[in-house]
C-alpha cells in the first residue's frame, strides 16, 4: 500500500474540496477501496473519509418513490420495510450480494462505484487495460469464464459485479451528485460507461463529485418484482448470471416490464430489447423466451464463457416466470 | 478409574483458540523483530537478468534486500538423514541462482522495520528477465509423459496382477472413461509463516509446520548447523492439509535473512503468495477401464493416471494407490505417469492419491453398476475385497459392508430411483449417490516423555504437533487414562523440537503413532511411583505386588480396597521428590511392514523401549504379528442432491458418512475430522479449482474470492457415524487415523448423485452449473 493523507470530511463541501486535489479518493465502507489499496491497484495520495456526512437517510417520496442517502448501508437498505414492500427486487438483489458482515459496512454510493472482479484486474502481474491503460487485456485470450458477453470491447471484457446496480438499472434509478459548482442528476443508464477504448474510465462522475443520494422513482408495478442470481455456490459469490425483473400483467397481457441483467454485462445491463418484446405480449413461456433471446441477441462469447448466453436466458425466463406466478 | 478415552470431551485448547490465547507462528512478539516481504517472479520461465534494488534500499525503514547476489549459500539437503523433513523443491533452494522455473517463485526478500514498509519497498523492486518459452498446459504436454519413481512413503506407482487387458476383451460388460480433476489449493486458514532468530550460532524458529522434528532436521542440514543448535516451535497451527508437511522456502528464507541482517526476521506469506509458493494438489487425468461378468463380479480393473509435477522436484499423486486392494478382481493394472510443467511443485493434500483416485474409480463403479442395472450399493458389496489381493494379506480389521448398510439407511437410499431423472421435489431433480472411502492406517516410530509431579498433576512432552485436528485433546485423554488422573490434571505439550521425537502430522498417523508411546511413558511414570510405594515401609501398600496395584484418580490402591491406598503426592513427598519421569519409544512403522513380504522370521517388529519393567506389560499389548496384515480405514459416503435442471445449480441436501476407523478416541474431534473431510470433498466436487493462465502459465485465481470453497449456505445436514470396533492389530489403543479418509469418495458420491438426479455424467471436476446445462 502506498502512503496517503487521510482526511475526515465534516460536510459535503469539505469532502468535495478535499477530493479536488490530485488522485484523491473517497472512502465510505471501505470494503472495496481498502482491498484495492492493499493490492496497489488503487494508489490515492489522499483518502477522504465521508462517513461523517449526513447521507444516511432513506426517505419515502410523496409520489411513491424513495430517496436513498449515499451512506445508507446495504444491510439497512435491504431490510427497509418500504423497499421490501414496494421494490422487493432491490432488497433481494442487495441480500444476494457479499455477506452480512460486508453488507453492514458497504454503502449505497460505494456499491455503485465498486470495481470489477476480473481476476486479471486484481493480479498486478498481468496486463490489464483497466488497471494500467494501454497495457493490454490478459482476459480476452486468457481465462475468461467469469467475464462479460454484453457491452465488451477489444480492450476490456470485464463484468460490472454489483447486484444492487442491476436492480437499480431495472428500476430506472436516478443518481444525484454534488460538485464544487452544484448538484446534478444522472439517469442510471448514463452513470456507468461501456469500456470502449477507455476501460479505465468507468462512470460519469468527475474527480470532485460526490454521490449524495439515489432516487428510485415510483413504479407501482414493482411490487411484483424479483431478483434471481445464479452462481457457483449458494452464497458469498458474484453472479454467473442474474436477472432483475418487474412485470405489470393485466388479464394475461404484459402492460409494463422492466428487465436488467447482471453477471453478463460490462455495466449493469438494462435490456430495453427484452422489455419491448414483453410489453403488449401475452404473459407466457414463449414470450419470456422471445424476450430472453432479444436480451442476449448481441452477446459475444469468449473461450470460457459461451455458456453464459444460455444461462442468462434461462435465468431471465425463470425470473419472469416467477414474477408471473406472483400475479 | 473412569476412562476418558472415547468420551466426547471439549478441546483442551478450545478456549485459548477462540479467545486469541493460542499463539501461531507469525504471532510471537520478538524483541527487535524485522519483517521480510518476498518479491516473487512475474515470469514463468527464464533467468533473472537484473534486480534493481536501489530505490527499495532508500525507502523508509528498509534494512536490506536479500537476493541471489548477496544471500548465504545453502547446503543441498542430503536425502539420507532420516530425521530430516523433506524440502518441497529439492532442486530449487531459494535464491541460490538466477533461474526462474515458475511464476510466483522467490526472487528476493525485502527486510524492513515494519511489514508495511517491507511490502511497499518490495513493490518498487524492478526485476528484468531473460524470458523463455514456458511449458504450459496439462493435456498439451501428454506426449512428454514419463514413468515416475515411487510415490509418497514409497508407494508403488505401477501395479499389476493377472491380465487386465485380456480380461477387458472377454468381459460381458465394460466401461472405459476418462476423468479429470483440476489443481486444488489447500488454503489452510493460517498462511505459511516463519520467524527466525539467531543467538550466536544457535537458531530459534517459529514455523507453521506439520513437523517440528522435520524442520529441525532440514534446517540443520541445509544451513549446516548442528541439530542441537536448532530449536523449532509450532505450538499451534492453523491447518495444514499437507501444505505444511513438506518444508517450503519461507522456512529457509527467514533464518537466511535473520543471519544476513543480524535481526530476528518474520516472513508471513500473503494468500496470493501461498497459492504459488507453498504447494497444491496436482492436476490429473485418469482413465478407468472396468470389466464385469453378468453376475456383476469385476473381472478387470484398469486405472491409468497422468498427473503433473514441476521442473524442480517430482511429486506423484498416486491416484491408483487404493485400486489394487479396494475391490476383488483377478485382473488389475495400475499405472501412473507424469508430465513436467513450469508450475510450482505439487505436494500432498488431504488424502493424497485416494482423494482424486477414489473420485474417478468410484464414478466408474457407478457407471458400471448402471450398465449392469445393479444397485450401486449391492454392486460394491458383490465386489467387496475380503483381503488385499495384491499384497495377499488380510486386513487388520474391516467392517465396510456394515458401513454401506448403515449409510444407506441414514440417507434414505430406498427412496432412490434406479432410473436417473425420475424423482422430483418441486422444480428440482432429486438424486442419491454412494461411494466407498478408504485411506491407509499409518503408524510410525515415536517417543514421548511423561512426568508425574508431587503436586499431583502430570505432563507429557512429545515432539509431534496439533495442526488443528485435536491432537492435544485426544493425547490428554490417552495420558490421563494411563496416569489414572482426570484430564484437567494432565498437560500435554507438543510442537517443540527439543521434546522426544514425535510423528509428523501427515498421512493420518499421529494418533496411532504417538498414542502408544505417550501411554507407555505415562504407565512407566506411574509404575515408578508404585515401586517406590511397595518398597516403602511407611506406605499402606508396603510389600504388595505391583500387579495388584491399580490407579484411581491420582491414588494408587491395593486391588479394589480403596482404603488401602495413598496418593502419588504422598509417595513422592515422603521420598522428598518433586517428580518422577519416564520415557518411552515405539518402533512401529506400518508402511514398511505393509510393503514387506509376509515373512515368518521376525523382521523388525513392534518394539517399545521403555525404562520401566511394567512396560513389559505394555510391550505385550503390542501385537507381534503385525506384519501379516495391511492396515486400512474404510467407509461409505452417501449424498443426496437437488439439481435445478434449467439453471444447473446443485444443492447438496444431505450427506451420510459411516466410517470404520477403529477405536473412536473422542467422538467430537473424530466427527469434526470427518465433517471437515466431507466439506473438502464437497469443495472438490462442486467449486474448487486453481486456474492457470493458458498463455503464460501463471496462476490467475489466487485469492479466496476467486478460489471458491464451500460456505455455510452450501453445507447440508451431515450425518457422521462410526463403526467403533477397535483395530486389534494397529496398537493397544486400536485407533486408526481419521484426518483424511473423510475426503475420499465424497466427490464421487456427489457426482453419482448428480447423475442419478439428472442423467448427466460430468467427468470433469468441479461440476459447476455451466457443465450441467451444456
Ligand atoms: C468478499 C466480497 C464479496 C462481495 N460480494 C458481492 C456480491 O456478491 N455482490 C455485490 O454486488 N457486491 C459484492 N461485493 C462488493 C461490495 O458490494 C462493495 O465492496 C461495496 O458495495 C462497496 O461499498 P463501500 O461503501 O464499502 O465502498 P468503498 O470501498 O468505501 O468505496 C468504493 C468506491 O466507491 C467510491 N465512493 C464511495 N462512496 C462514494 C460517494 N458517496 N461518492 C462518490 N464515490 C464514492 C470510493 O471512492 C471507491 O472508489 C463484495 C465485496 C467483497 C469484499
Ligand atoms: S477484461 Fe478488463 S479488467 Fe479484465 S484484464 Fe481485460 S482489461 Fe483488465
A267 or B551, greater pLDDT: A267
Which residue has the least CA distance to atom 37 on ligand 1? A110
State the average pLDDT over residues A80-84. 98
Whose grid coordinates read 518441497? Answer: B88
Q: Can you give the pLDDT at residue B251?
A: 98
Q: Do A233 and B695 touch (CB under 8 A)?
A: no
What are the CA-CA distances from residue A271 to residues A88, A173, A199, B698 (Å)? 19, 15, 21, 37
Cα gap B723→B14, rounded to integer Å = 27
State the average pLDDT over residues B447-462. 96
B151 or B36, greater pLDDT: B36
Q: What is the pLDDT of residues B414-429, one digit of tens each?
A: 999 999 999 999 999 9
Q: With b meaning 16 or more CB within 10 Å and e meaning fewer, what string describes B337-356?
A: bbbbbbbbbbbbbbbbbbbb
Concatenating the DSSP letter of every residue in B316-380 gives ---TTTTHHHHB--SEEEEEEEEEE-SSPPP---SSTTHHHHHHHHHHHHHHHHHHHT--HHHHH
Instruction: Tell me the three cell numbers of residue B281.
Output: 494438489
How much of chain B is in helix, strand and coil states, percent to nearest 5?
30, 30, 45
Residues of chain B contacting A, Cβ within 8 Å:
42, 103, 116, 119-120, 123, 272, 646-649, 651, 686-687, 691-695, 698, 700-703, 705-706, 708, 710-714, 768-770, 773-774
Residue (of B228, B220, B230) closest to B198 by Cα position: B230
What CATH code is assigned to B141-184+281-441+630-773?
Answer: 3.30.365.10
Find chain B residues with C-beta within 8 A of A125's C-beta: 42, 103, 698
Which residue has the least CA distance to atom 8 on ligand 2? A128
Distance, CA B542 to ligand 1 centroid (Å)?
77
Cα gap B251→B245, rounded to integer Å = 12
By CB atoms closer than 10 A (0-12, 13-18, 19+), residue B68 is middle
Q: Can you give the pLDDT at residue B598?
A: 32
Distance, CA B696 to ligand 2 centroid (Å)?
16
| Chain A / chain B CB contacts < 8 angstroms | 88
B119, B693, B708: which to substitute to probe chain A, counting the most A Cβ within 10 Å?
Answer: B693
Residue B603 pLDDT more than 50? no
Distance, CA A74 to ligand 1 centroid (Å)?
10
Cα gap B358→B268, rounded to integer Å = 35
Phi-psi region of A251 (alpha: psi -120 to 50; beta: other; left: phi over 0): left
Element (H, E) at B480: helix B471-483
SS3 track for B625-691:
CHHHEECEEEEEEEEEEEECCCCCCEEEEEEEEEEECECCCEHHHHHHHHHHHHHHHHHHHHCCCEC
Residue B619 pLDDT more than 80? no
Residue B611 pLDDT more than 90? no
Residue B618 pLDDT more than 60? no
Nearest CB to A141 within list B692, B695, B703: B695
Nearest CB to A235 within list B646, B713, B773: B713
B602 secondary structure, DSSP code: -
Cα gap B138→B134, rounded to integer Å = 12
- Provide the 3-class DSSP secondary structure of residue A270: strand
Q: Can you give the pLDDT at residue A116?
A: 98
Whose grid coordinates read 513438506? Answer: B246
Full set of structural domains in chain A with CATH: 1-52 (3.30.43.10), 224-324 (3.30.390.50)
Residue B410 pLDDT more than 60? yes
- Provide the 3-class DSSP secondary structure of residue A59: strand
Whose grid coordinates read 451420510? Answer: B656
Find chain B residues with C-beta within 8 A of A308's C-beta: 770
Residue (of B558, B542, B571, B614) closest to B452 by Cα position: B571
Nearest CB to A1 within list B116, B646, B649: B116
**Pocket residues for ligand 2 (CB within 6 Å)?**
A 116, 118, 120-121, 128-130, 137-139, 147, 156-158, 199
- Provide the 3-class DSSP secondary structure of residue A173: coil
Cα gap A110→A95, rounded to integer Å = 16
Rg over alpha carbons for chain A, rounded to the nearest Å, is 19
State the average pLDDT over residues B29-40. 98
Of all atoms in ligand 2, which is nearest to the CA of residue A136?
7
Whose grid coordinates read 505436494? Answer: B347
Highest mean pLDDT pick, B147-151, B598-602, B684-688 = B684-688
Q: Are B440 and B649 in contact (CB under 8 A)?
A: no
Nearest CB to B768 within list A232, A236, A310: A232
Q: Can you give the pLDDT at residue A32?
A: 98
Q: Are B394 and B630 in contact (CB under 8 A)?
A: yes
| Angle between helices A88-95 and A164-171 in degrees, nearest 10 | 160
Residue (of B493, B501, B500) closest to B460 by Cα position: B493
CATH top class, domain B32-133+189-239+244-277: alpha beta
Cα gap B366→B376, rounded to integer Å = 6
Torsion A62-A67-A72-A74 (CA) sign: positive
Cα gap B307→B705, rounded to integer Å = 26
SS3 track for B31-76:
CCCEEEEEEECCCCCEEEEEEECHHHHHCCCEEEEEECCCCCCCCC
Compute how many other C-beta atoms are within 10 angstroms of the C-beta atom of residue A186.
18
Element (H, E) at A285: helix A285-295
Whose grid coordinates read 504388595? Answer: B544
Residue B1 pLDDT more than 90? no
Q: Is B197 a catalytic residue?
A: no
Q: What is the pLDDT of residues A253-266, one digit of tens each?
A: 999 999 999 999 99
Q: Are B472 and B492 in contact (CB under 8 A)?
A: yes
Find chain B residues with C-beta within 8 A of A311's C-beta: 647-648, 769-770, 773
Find chain A residues with C-beta within 8 A of B272's C-beta: 123
- Residue among A120, A131, A150, A264 whose CB has most ligand 2 atoms within 8 A, to mutate: A120
Cα gap B461→B470, rounded to integer Å = 16
CA of A95, nearest ligand number:
1
Q: Do B694 and A142 touch (CB under 8 A)?
A: yes
Residue B617 pLDDT more than 50? no
- To the nearest whole Å, the CA of B97 is away from the closest chain A CA by 22
Q: Which residue of B has its CA nearest to A241?
A: B647
Q: What is the mean pLDDT of chain B?
A: 93
**Bridge pairing between strands A174-179 and A46-49:** unpaired
Residue B97 pLDDT more than 80? yes
In sequence order, the β-bridge partners of residue B651 are B642
Compute how many other C-beta atoms are within 10 angstroms of the C-beta atom of residue B649.
20
Residue B605 pLDDT more than 50? no
Q: Do A311 and B647 touch (CB under 8 A)?
A: yes
Task: Place B591 in a pLDDT band, splitting at 50, 70 and 90.
Answer: low
Q: Can you give the pLDDT at residue A199?
A: 98
- To the nearest whole Å, the CA of A187 is away from the closest chain B CA by 31
Torsion B450-B453-B458-B462 (CA) sign: negative
Cα gap A173→B660, rounded to integer Å = 60
Q: Are A118 and A202 in contact (CB under 8 A)?
A: no
φ and ψ at residue B268, rounded to 5 degrees: -125, 120
**Bridge pairing between strands B173-181 and B126-131:** unpaired
Nearest CB to B714 within list A145, A234, A310: A234
**Bridge pairing between strands B650-660 and B717-722:** parallel
Q: Can you give the pLDDT at residue B407?
A: 98
B88 secondary structure, DSSP code: S
Q: Which residue of B has its CA nearest to A228?
A: B647
Q: Can you give the pLDDT at residue B45?
A: 98
Cα gap B649→B428, rounded to integer Å = 10
Distance, CA A302 to ligand 1 centroid (Å)?
27
Q: Do A40 and B123 touch (CB under 8 A)?
A: yes
Q: Where are the beta strands (DSSP E) in B441-478?
A: 446-453, 458-461
CATH topology of domain B443-456+498-589+591-624: Aldehyde Oxidoreductase; domain 4 (3.30.365)
Task: Place B614 in a pLDDT band, splitting at 50, 70 and 90.
Answer: very low
**Bridge pairing between strands B428-440 and B632-643:** antiparallel
Residue (of A289, A244, A206) closest to A93 by Cα position: A244
A102, A114, A125: which to substitute to probe chain B, counting the most B Cβ within 10 Å?
Answer: A125
Chain centroid to Cα B119, Å, comes to 32
Pinpoint the residues of chain B covered by CATH 3.30.365.10: 32-133+189-239+244-277, 141-184+281-441+630-773
Q: Do B706 and A311 touch (CB under 8 A)?
A: no
B183 secondary structure, DSSP code: B
Find chain B residues with C-beta within 8 A of A310's C-beta: 773
State the average pLDDT over residues B755-765. 98
Compute how many other C-beta atoms are within 10 angstroms of the C-beta atom of residue B608.
24
Q: Are A81 and A218 in contact (CB under 8 A)?
A: no
Element (H, E) at B774: none
Whose grid coordinates read 500387579? Answer: B547
The alpha helices in B414-470, defined as continuous H runs, are none
By CB atoms closer than 10 A (0-12, 13-18, 19+), residue B593 is buried
Q: Are B272 and B191 in contact (CB under 8 A)?
A: no
Of all atoms in ligand 1, which is nearest to the CA of residue A36?
29
B44, B100, B687, B770: which to substitute to probe chain A, counting the most A Cβ within 10 Å?
Answer: B770
- Between B114-123, B618-627, B653-662, the lowest mean confidence (pLDDT) is in B618-627
B742 secondary structure, DSSP code: G
Q: Can you give the pLDDT at residue B601?
A: 30
Task: Place A96 in a pLDDT band, splitting at 50, 70 and 90.
Answer: very high
Residue B624 pLDDT more than 90? no
A12 lines ligand 1 (CB under 6 A): no
pLDDT more than 90, % of chain B: 88
pTM: 0.96
- Provide the 3-class DSSP secondary structure of residue A210: strand
State the average pLDDT over residues A280-300. 98
- To the nearest whole Å, the CA of A186 is away from the closest chain B CA by 32
Cα gap B144→A152, rounded to integer Å = 38
Amino acid at each position: 500500500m502506498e502512503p496517503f493523507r487521510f482526511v475526515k470530511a465534516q460536510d459535503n463541501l469539505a469532502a468535495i474540496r478535499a477530493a479536488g486535489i490530485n488522485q484523491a479518493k473517497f472512502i465510505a465502507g471501505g470494503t472495496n477501496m481498502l482491498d484495492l489499496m492493499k493490492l496497489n491497484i488503487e494508489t490515492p495520495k489522499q483518502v477522504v473519509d465521508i462517513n461523517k456526512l449526513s447521507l444516511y437517510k432513506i426517505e419515502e417520496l410523496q409520489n411513491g418513490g424513495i430517496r436513498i442517502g449515499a451512506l445508507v448501508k446495504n444491510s439497512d437498505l435491504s431490510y427497509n420495510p418500504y423497499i421490501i414492500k414496494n421494490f422487493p427486487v432491490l432488497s433481494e438483489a442487495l441480500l444476494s450480494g457479499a455477506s452480512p458482515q460486508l453488507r453492514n459496512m458497504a454503502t449505497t454510493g460505494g456499491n455503485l462505484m465498486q470495481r470489477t472482479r476480473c481476476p486479471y484486474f486484481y493480479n498486478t502481474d498481468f496486463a490489464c487495460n483497466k488497471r494500467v491503460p494501454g497495457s493490454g487485456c490478459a482476459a480476452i485470450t486468457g481465462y475468461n469464464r467469469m467475464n462479460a458477453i454484453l457491452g465488451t470491447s477489444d480492450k476490456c471484457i470485464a463484468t460490472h459485479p454489483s447486484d444492487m446496480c442491476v436492480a437499480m438499472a431495472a428500476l430506472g434509478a436516478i443518481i444525484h451528485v454534488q460538485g464544487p459548482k452544484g448538484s446534478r442528476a444522472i439517469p442510471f443508464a448514463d452513470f456507468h460507461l461501456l469500456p470502449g477504448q477507455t476501460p479505465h474510465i468507468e462512470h460519469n462522475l468527475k474527480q470532485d463529485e460526490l454521490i449524495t443520494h439515489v432516487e428510485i422513482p415510483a413504479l407501482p408495478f414493482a411490487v411484483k418484482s424479483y431478483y434471481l442470481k445464479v452462481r457457483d455456490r449458494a452464497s458469498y459469490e458474484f453472479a454467473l448470471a442474474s436477472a432483475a425483473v418487474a412485470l405489470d400483467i393485466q388479464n394475461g397481457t404484459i402492460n409494463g416490464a422492466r428487465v436488467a441483467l447482471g453477471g453478463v454485462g460490462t455495466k449493469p445491463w438494462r435490456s430495453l430489447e427484452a422489455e419491448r418484446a414483453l410489453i403488449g405480449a401475452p404473459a407466457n413461456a414463449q414470450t419470456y423466451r422471445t424476450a430472453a433471446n432479444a436480451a442476449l441477441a448481441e452477446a459475444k462469447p469468449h473461450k470460457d464463457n459461451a455458456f453464459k448466453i444460455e444461462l442468462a436466458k434461462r435465468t431471465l425466463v425463470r425470473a419472469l416466470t416467477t414474477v408471473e406466478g406472483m400475479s | 478409574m473412569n476412562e476418558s478415552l472415547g468420551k466426547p470431551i471439549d478441546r483442551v485448547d478450545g478456549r485459548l483458540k477462540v479467545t486469541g490465547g493460542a499463539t501461531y507462528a507469525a504471532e510471537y512478539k520478538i524483541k527487535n523483530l524485522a519483517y521480510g516481504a518476498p518479491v516473487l517472479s512475474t515470469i514463468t520461465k527464464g533467468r533473472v537478468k537484473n534486480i534493481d534494488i536501489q530505490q527499495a534500499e532508500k525507502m523508509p525503514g528498509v534494512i536490506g534486500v536479500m537476493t541471489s547476489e548477496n544471500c548465504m549459500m545453502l547446503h543441498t539437503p542430503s536425502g539420507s538423514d532420516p530425521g530430516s523433513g523433506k524440502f518441497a523443491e529439492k532442486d530449487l533452494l531459494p535464491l541460490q541462482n538466477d533461474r526462474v522455473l515458475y511464476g510466483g517463485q522467490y526472487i528476493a526478500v525485502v527486510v524492513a522495520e515494519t511489514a508495511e514498509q517491507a511490502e511497499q519497498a518490495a513493490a518498487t523492486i524492478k526485476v528484468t528477465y531473460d524470458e523463455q518459452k514456458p511449458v504450459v498446459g496439462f493435456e498439451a504436454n501428454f506426449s512428454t509423459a514419463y514413468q515416475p519413481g515411487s510415490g509418497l512413503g514409497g508407494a508403488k506407482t505401477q501395479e499389476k496382477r493377472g491380465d487386465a487387458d485380456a480380461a477387458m476383451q472377454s468381459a460381458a460388460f465394460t466401461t472405459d472413461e476418462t476423468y479429470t480433476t483440476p489443481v486444488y489449493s489447500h488454503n489452510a486458514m493460517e498462511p505459511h509463516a516463519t520467524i527466525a532468530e539467531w543467538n550466536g550460532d544457535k537458531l530459534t524458529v517459529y514455523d507453521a509446520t506439520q513437523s517440528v522434528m522435520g524442520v529441525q532436521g532440514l534446517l540443520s542440514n541445509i544451513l549446516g548447523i548442528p541439530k542441537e543448535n536448532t530449536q523449532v516451535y509450532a505450538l499451534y497451527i492453523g491447518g495444514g492439509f499437507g501444505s505444511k508437511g513438506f518444508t517450503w522456502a519461507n522456512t529457509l528464507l527467514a533464518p537466511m535473512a535473520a543471519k544476513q541482517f543480524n535481526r530476528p526476521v518474520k516472513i508471513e506469506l500473503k494468500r496470493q503468495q501461498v497459492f504459488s509458493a507453498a504447494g497444491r494438489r496436482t492436476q490429473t487425468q485418469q482413465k478407468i477401464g472396468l470389466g464385469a461378468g453378468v453376475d456383476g463380479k469385476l473381472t478387470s480393473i484398469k486405472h491409468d493416471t497422468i498427473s503433473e509435477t514441476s521442473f524442480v522436484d517430482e511429486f506423484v499423486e498416486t491416484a491408483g494407490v487404493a485400486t489394487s486392494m479396494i475391490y476383488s478382481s483377478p485382473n488389475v493394472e495400475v499405472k501412473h505417469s507424469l508430465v513436467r510443467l513450469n508450475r510450482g511443485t505439487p505436494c500432498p493434500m488431504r488424502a493424497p492419491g485416494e482423494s482424486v483416485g477414489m473420485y474417478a474409480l468410484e464414478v466408474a463403479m457407478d457407471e458400471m453398476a448402471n450398465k449392469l442395472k445393479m444397485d450401486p450399493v449391492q454392486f460394491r458389496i458383490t465386489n467387496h475385497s475380503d483381503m488385499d489381493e495384491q499384497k495377499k494379506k488380510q486386513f487388520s480389521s474391516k467392517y465396510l459392508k456394515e458401513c454401506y448398510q448403515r449409510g444407506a439407511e441414514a440417507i434414505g437410499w430406498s427412496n432412490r430411483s434406479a432410473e436417473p431423472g425420475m424423482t422430483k421435489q418441486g422444480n428440482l431433480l432429486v438424486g442419491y449417490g454412494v461411494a466407498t472411502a478408504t485411506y491407509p492406517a499409518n503408524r510410525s516410530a515415536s517417543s514421548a516423555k511423561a512426568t508425574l509431579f508431587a503436586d499431583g498433576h502430570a505432563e507429557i512432552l512429545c515432539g509431534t504437533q496439533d495442526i488443528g485436528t485435536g491432537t492435544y485433546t485426544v493425547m490428554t485423554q490417552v495420558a490421563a487414562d494411563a496416569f489414572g488422573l482426570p484430564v484437567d490434571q494432565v498437560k500435554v505439550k507438543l510442537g517443540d523440537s527439543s521434546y522426544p521425537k514425535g510423528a509428523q502430522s501427515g498421512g493420518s498417523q499421529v494418533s496411532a503413532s504417538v498414542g502408544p508411546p505417550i501411554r507407555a511413558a505415562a504407565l512407566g511414570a506411574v509404575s515408578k511411583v508404585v515401586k517406590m510405594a511397595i518398597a516403602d515401609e511407611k506406605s499402606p501398600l508396603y510389600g504388595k505386588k505391583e500387579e495388584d496395584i491399580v490407579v484411581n484418580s491420582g491414588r494408587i490402591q491395593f486391588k479394589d480396597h480403596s482404603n488401602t491406598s495413598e496418593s502419588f503426592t504422598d509417595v513422592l513427598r515422603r521420598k522428598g521428590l518433586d517428580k518422577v519421569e519416564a520415557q518411552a519409544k515405539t518402533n512401529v512403522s506400518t508402511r514398511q511392514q505393509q510393503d514387506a513380504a509376509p515373512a515368518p522370521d521376525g523382521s523388525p517388529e513392534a518394539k517399545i523401549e521403555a525404562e520401566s519393567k511394567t512396560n513389559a506389560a505394555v510391550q505385550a499389548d503390542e501385537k507381534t504379528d503385525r506384519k501379516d496384515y495391511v492396515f486400512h480405514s474404510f467407509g461409505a459416503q452417501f449424498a443426496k442432491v437437488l439439481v435445478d435442471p434449467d439453471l444447473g445449480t446443485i444443492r447438496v441436501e444431505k450427506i451420510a458418512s459411516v466410517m470404520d476407523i477403529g477405536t473412536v478416541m473422542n467422538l467430537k474431534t473424530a466427527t469434526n475430522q470427518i465433517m471437515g473431510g466431507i466439506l473438502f470433498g464437497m469443495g472438490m466436487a462442486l467449486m474448487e479449482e486453481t486456474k492457470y493462465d493458458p498463455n503464460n502459465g501463471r496462476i490467475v485465481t489466487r485469492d479466496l474470492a476467486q478460489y471458491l470453497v464451500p460456505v455455510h449456505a452450501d453445507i447440508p445436514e451431515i450425518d457422521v457415524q462410526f463403526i467403533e470396533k477397535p483395530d486389534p492389530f494397529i496398537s493397544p489403543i486400536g485407533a486408526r487415523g481419521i484426518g483424511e479418509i473423510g475426503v475420499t469418495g465424497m466427490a464421487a458420491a456427489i457426482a453419482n448423485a448428480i447423475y442419478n438426479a439428472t442423467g448427466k455424467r460430468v467427468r470433469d471436476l468441479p461440476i459447476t452449473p455451466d457443465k450441467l446445462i451444456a
